[in-house]
Chains A and B, each alone.
Chain A
Amino acid sequence: MKRELAAAALLLLLIAGAVWNLHSADRLNETVERSLHRAEVSARHGDYEAALTALENGRQVWDAHGTYTQIFFRHPDLDAIQDAFHGLEERFLQEDPAWPAALGLLRYHLYTVDEMEHVTVGTVF
């Protein structure tokens, strides 16, 4: 009976861990998204310096969760996010009017990673 109870407790712990992971991924994505939104507003007003600062804040938040993301997310997805951060940074530095495409790509990769953690019919199957 002890073994079954331990297994049930471990299973509950794993379920709790999965729920915690889901919230953590959502929180991280929302925090980064807030920075990206600030960067977007600044860039639309032509203030690329402020856009770069906001983007850098978002990147710092993302990098600060490096251990968490490396443990739970697929590494090729993380590489794609880093590349997208770098791509958007380049666009802002060059004041390239094509930055919305780079921002869209970064948002897409962040959304994909977060979406993978959500239990939906689409992600399960």
Chain B
Amino acid sequence: MTTNANSANQNALARYKNNFLKEVEANVEDGHMVKMCMQCGVCAGSCPLGPAWQHSPQKIFMMIRAGKREEVLGSDSMWMCTSCYNCIVRCPRQLPITHIMHGLANYAHRLDLAPKGQPTREIAKLFWDNLVKTGRVNELKFSLAMYFKDGFGQGVKNAMAMQATGLGLLKAKRLNPMELVGGHKCKDIGGFRKMVAKAREIEDRRRGLA
């Protein structure tokens, strides 16, 4: 755990004591809606990755109310969200479940309590870092960063395994090798980065993460 994440975590523990629901309400996107869940389970039955996660959204919401802080923030469930929005449109109490799951993932990630090496957590970070660099996503650099995230040897293996797919896209002119050296970007990249940094600073201050 990084020093920053660790001290943010200690601060949160001291501030909210054993009231994890209050902590979620204050620091997680749309967290104030968690208490509206009536435990019907429609979300659990609607998720395309339902069989894959440790806890359904329904369970996560009950665990939050029961103060299961470590179990919730360390769960892999939020990282299985494909952003399909099935749960949102079906929830009879109109909880913005997708947003809450995204918010919990973000909070767990920032406190560094999310599962280490969780693949979606890793690619999500690579994706954001990639877009902040130029203002636009560089698909080629993003793909290569993903293949090589576990070291060079594994990266070569990953890239070889996906070679046919890559060549197919290359032939169809949907993958441009020149993106590696230059590529698409925002002209006002300086302003873009300053703006993102300011937004993060404001949000971190509000959530005690600064």
The answer on A and B forming one complex is no
- Give the A-binding residues of B (Cβ under 8 A): none
- Give the B-binding residues of A (Cβ under 8 A): none
